[in-house]
């Protein structure tokens, strides 16, 4: 999960926030050959009960030789130390920089004794956002991340990173070495073109190429720019595991995930199931992995006890996916499966596909689970970072950004070369404990939280407006691209101002439209009624009053459940 920080002209100030919420984030990865238009895409849902959804912006800056940079822990605001600053940093909008490099993450934790290296300066949040300010390609990002943790140590728990540029998509997994050693062990793999990948709070890289022409270790990071290289790993990722007693066996059989973060029931049922659900929607051969995704993990009967029924790291979709399809892949409650969250008694009479946290609950001596789907009520923000190699970088990258619950958010196009953010999404416009009636986060929460009361009725109205807006944005994109690219030929600054104005206008207008939606929902559905609505207007009597509303009450199955529990208590006599 990600926490927010403000960028000033002098320094980055990390804001204090609560401790990590486990099982908190979801990333999906799409290569050029897997998408309709040949773009790369990575998605990210930053889920936390204390994360305020806002759009971060860091301008490009120049620094004097010898400048230092203060690093604070992303999750707590604790000062970790200083690192050397580079002479020039790139602008970053959200999690995407002006060269279309994007980075997302999910925390998997892993072996607890390897967490929070006392000597380290670099935590996972700093690692991401510092790298975004320094890297022009995904390969350069991996090189920088490897060098930063080697020089400054790694302070965080185990992390999976999604790293993309307009041409390539990589998955990288990392964990620190604990209190006795400096640095981290890690593996990065290029997702094959035409394939898709995902991670959701469970490490997923298992075995990987070693000592081959397409792989290098961290001792040869300068060779990462060779396009034949498809796997990069820390030179001691296996030897360190053997020294610690985590692994016994031949190097070729070593699995990063099974060694440093073995999957258990929770890792499958709360985490891997989100990846499975996405894979299952785009590939017709995923049913055989459903038992694993439900938490029924099988293990080898040997000294390493690796899981034997895991899903593949990446799959090929049955057909190429579009940007709108990717948006909708971020919207999932396990529909179409036996775990569909809208179908069991916990959904109540109106099919609410959410369960108020925590993730587990007890009755007597038994512990039970709430499902953890991709769409969840506590999302701060989510995005789709889309890279397009055929358009100049500041225009080619679109950071599709939404706040609150991914199922009812709107993904608004924010071009990666923009130079300011919409007022309604700006840092400082409200916070988690301060309501703002001009804040995207609070307006979207107003709509979603009201809809939770009568979900299967109101979500239809929400999805209609959501689809209208996103369809419009997608339809506008070619024209905006063409105008901006033409401007870019003669005046790069004017082109960036153009895409900034466009992005800001769409963001602010989306919030205005969502306010109208909130008003409509309140008028139509207050007090359990359904005011009559026809041809875009609420119906009135000939004398101007409201036509008497429909009063649908509850579904029959719910009434029957009441009778089962109460007998004749409510029977009319």
**Given this model, what pLDDT does residue 482 score?**
98
| Residues contacting 113, CB < 8 A, separation 6+ | 178, 179
Contact at 8 Å (CB) between 466 and 411? no
Please report the pLDDT score of residue 23 as a whole number.
61
Q: Are 68 and 5 in contact (CB under 8 A)?
A: no
Cα–Cα distance measured from residue 192 to residue 203, given in angstroms and rounded to the nearest whole number: 19
pLDDT at residue 77, as a whole number? 84
Contact indicator for 379, 331 with CB cutoff of 8 Å: no
The verdict on whether omega for the bond into residue 310 sits within 30 degrees of 0, i.e. cis, is no
Query: Strand 215-217 and strand 231-233: pairing?
Result: parallel
Between CA 33 and CA 321 the distance in angstroms is 10
Distance separating alpha carbons of residues 463 and 451, to the nearest angstrom: 11
**Every domain of the chain and the residues it spans:** 5-369, 533-566
- Convert the pLDDT of each residue in 387-436 to its tens digit: 999 999 999 999 999 999 999 999 999 999 999 999 999 999 999 999 99
Give the integer Cα–Cα distance in Å for 218 and 185: 10
Residue 23 Cα distances to 246, 358, 417, angstroms: 24, 11, 32
Q: How far apart are the first and last CA of the chain?
A: 56
Structure confidence by residue, pLDDT tens digits, 505-520: 999 999 999 999 999 9
Dihedral of alpha carbons 14, 78, 181, 173, sign? negative
Residues (pLDDT < 50) of the chain are 1-21
Neighbours of 498 (CB within 10 A): 21
Phi and psi of 141, rounded to 5°?
Answer: -60, -45
> How far is it, in rounded angstroms, from Cα 147 to Cα 145?
5
**Are 225 and 203 in contact, with CB atoms under 8 Å apart?**
no
141 sits in which H/E element: helix 138-152
Question: Please, are residues 9 and 17 in contact by the beta-carbon 8 Å criterion?
Answer: no
Helices (H), 228-356: 237-244, 256-260, 265-266, 273-282, 290-293, 323-329
The answer to whether the CB of 208 falls within 8 A of the CB of 46 is no
SS3 readout for 72-133: ECCCCCCEEEEEECCCEECCEECCEECCCCEEEEEEEECCHHHCCCCCCCECHHHHHHHHHC
Helix (H) or strand (E) holding 171: strand 169-176
- Taking Cα atoms as reference points, which of 24, 20, 18 lies closest to residue 379? 24
pLDDT tens for residues 26-50?
Answer: 999 999 999 999 999 999 999 999 9
d(CA 96, CA 91): 9
Neighbours of 86 (CB within 10 A): 16
- The span from the CA of 161 to the CA of 307, in Å, is 22
Classify the phi-psi angles of 540: left when phi > 0, otherwise alpha if psi is within -120 to 50, otherwise beta. beta
Nearest-angstrom CA–CA distance, 565 and 563: 5
């Amino acid at each position: 999960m990600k926490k927010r920080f403000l960028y000033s002209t002098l320094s980055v100030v990390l804001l204090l926030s609560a401790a990590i919420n486990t099982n908190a984030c979801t990333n999906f990865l799409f290569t050029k050959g897997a998408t309709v238009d040949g773009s790369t895409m990575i998605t990210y849902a930053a889920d936390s009960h204390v994360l305020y959804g806002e759009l971060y912006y860091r301008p490009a800056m120049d620094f004097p030789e010898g400048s230092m940079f203060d690093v604070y822990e992303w999750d707590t605001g604790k000062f970790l130390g200083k690192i050397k600053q580079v002479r020039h940093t790139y602008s970053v909008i959200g999690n995407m920089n002006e060269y279309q490099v994007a980075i997302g993450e999910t925390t998997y934790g892993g072996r607890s004794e390897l967490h929070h290296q006392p000597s380290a300066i670099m935590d996972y949040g700093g690692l991401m956002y510092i790298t975004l300010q320094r890297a022009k390609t995904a390969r350069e990002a991996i090189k920088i991340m490897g060098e930063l943790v080697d020089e400054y140590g790694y302070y965080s728990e185990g992390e999976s990173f999604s790293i993309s540029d307009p041409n390539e998509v990589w998955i990288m997994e990392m964990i620190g070495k604990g209190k006795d050693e400096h640095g981290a062990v890690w593996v990065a793999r290029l997702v094959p073109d035409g394939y898709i990948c995902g991670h959701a709070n469970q490490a997923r890289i298992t075995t990987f190429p070693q000592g081959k022409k397409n792989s290098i270790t961290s001792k040869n990071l300068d060779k990462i720019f060779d396009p034949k290289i498809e796997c990069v790993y820390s030179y001691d990722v296996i030897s360190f595991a053997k020294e610690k007693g985590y692994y016994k066996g031949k190097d070729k059989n070593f699995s990063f995930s099974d060694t440093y973060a073995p999957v258990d029931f929770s890792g499958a049922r709360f985490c891997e199931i989100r990846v499975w659900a996405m894979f299952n929607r785009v590939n017709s051969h995923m049913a055989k992995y459903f038992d694993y995704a439900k938490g029924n993990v099988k293990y080898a009967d040997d000294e390493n006890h690796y899981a034997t029924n895991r899903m593949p790291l990446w799959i090929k979709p049955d057909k190429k996916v579009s940007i709108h399809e990717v948006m909708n892949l971020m919207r999932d409650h396990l529909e179409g499966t036996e775990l569909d969250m809208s179908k069991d008694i916990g959904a109540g009479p109106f099919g609410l596909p959410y369960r108020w946290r925590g993730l587990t609950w007890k009755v007597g001596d038994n512990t039970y689970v709430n499902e953890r789907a991709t769409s969840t009520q506590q999302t701060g923000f989510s995005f789709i970072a889309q890279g397009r190699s055929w358009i100049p970088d500041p225009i080619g990258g679109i950071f599709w950004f939404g706040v609150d619950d991914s199922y009812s958010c709107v993904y608004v196009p924010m071009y990666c070369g923009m130079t300011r953010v919409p007022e309604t999404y700006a840092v400082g416009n409200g916070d988690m404990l301060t309501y703002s009636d001009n804040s995207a986060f609070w307006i979207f929460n107003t709509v979603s939280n009201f809809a939770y009361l009568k979900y299967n009725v109101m979500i239809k109205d929400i999805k209609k407006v959501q689809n209208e807006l996103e369809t419009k944005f997608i339809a506008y994109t070619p024209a905006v691209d063409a105008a901006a690219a033409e401007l870019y030929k003669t005046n790069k600054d004017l082109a960036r101002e153009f895409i900034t104005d466009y992005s800001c206008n769409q963001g602010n207008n989306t919030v205005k439209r969502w306010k109208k939606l909130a008003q409509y929902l309140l008028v139509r559905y207050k007090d359990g009624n359904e005011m009559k609505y026809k041809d875009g207007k609420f119906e009135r009597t000939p004398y101007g009053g409201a036509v008497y509303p429909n009063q649908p009450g509850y579904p029959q199955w719910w009434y029957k459940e009441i009778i089962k529990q109460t007998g004749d208590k409510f029977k009319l006599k």
